[in-house]
Amino acid sequence: MDSTVALVTGAASGIGAAVARALAGRGAAVAAVDRDTAALDDAVAKMTADGLRVAAFGCDVADAAQVDAVVEEAERRLGPVDRLVNAAGVLRLGPARSLLERDWADCLAVNATGVFLMSRAVAGRMVRRGTRGAIVTVASNAAGTARMDMAAYAASKAAAAMYTKCLGLELAAHGIRCNVVAPGSTDTPMLRSMWHDDSGPSATVDGRLDAYRVGIPLRRLARPEDVADAVLFLLSDQAAHITMHTLTVDGGATLGV
């Protein structure tokens, strides 16, 4: 990917940061995007200290004006973007029957509208240039499997996944591939925010009968790098004939369904 310019959202931590580092490690110039500018600057400083070509761009992906401006600035500084990874996400928990409107709106704004706005901005430029590029949206295995207290998150990720596939259908004639990576429980700040004590990791691996949730057959949490590897595969020429596909990376947690 030496000549690639990639834009990665949610790059301040977790899966997004792992993807940004992995892409840069393969020679790509990476526009690392996040609304948490302090955490983003820290993450990018560590990458550039390792000799990687990564630049930080503050942006709220749910704001159309900010998205258009950051894509324009990234291309001005790094060159035409030909790889996009939508990894920005938020989690709001609560029973479906009593969710706060604010929590529902936050999940849809970042997890779904953010994917729409960023994909629209990048894909539009790709098509105008005649670029044969690739887009990967990091969704969740919850997009296809019901979860207790995760209705807003699951719905937003399902919306993002289907939008990405519809986009892939429309962009296929332009040689632009659009795919989805669906992680399960991954050792990130988002997952850790769901744990209340030291039993969190083991409870996640073991599953919970009272929540109708199976555990992880591979008996381990995913690392962000595990998900990044799947993203890089779908961005690469090794996946040249793959589009509108969901690659699930959950250690078997959804039993292959």
Active site residues: 153
Look at residue 53 and give its three-state secondary structure: coil
What is the DSSP track for 170-200? Answer: HHGGGT-EEEEEEE-SBSSHHHHTT--STTH
Number of H helices and E strands in the chain, helices first, is 9, 9
Q: What is the Cα–Cα distance from 137 to 133, expressed in whole angstroms?
A: 14
Exposure of 149 in the CB half-sphere (CA atoms within 13 A): 9
Cα separation of 22 and 139, whole Å? Answer: 19
Relative orientation angle of helices 114-129 and 151-171, to the nearest 10 degrees: 10
Q: From CA 196, how far away is CA 214, in angstroms rounded?
A: 19
Alpha-carbon gap, residue 28 to 38, rounded angstroms: 23
Among 148, 64, 163, which residue's Cα sits nearest to residue 112? 163
Longest dimension (CA), the chain: 53
In angstroms, the CA 256 to CA 174 distance is 32
Radius of gyration, alpha carbons of the chain: 17
Distance, CA of 28 to CA of 21 (rounded, Å):
10
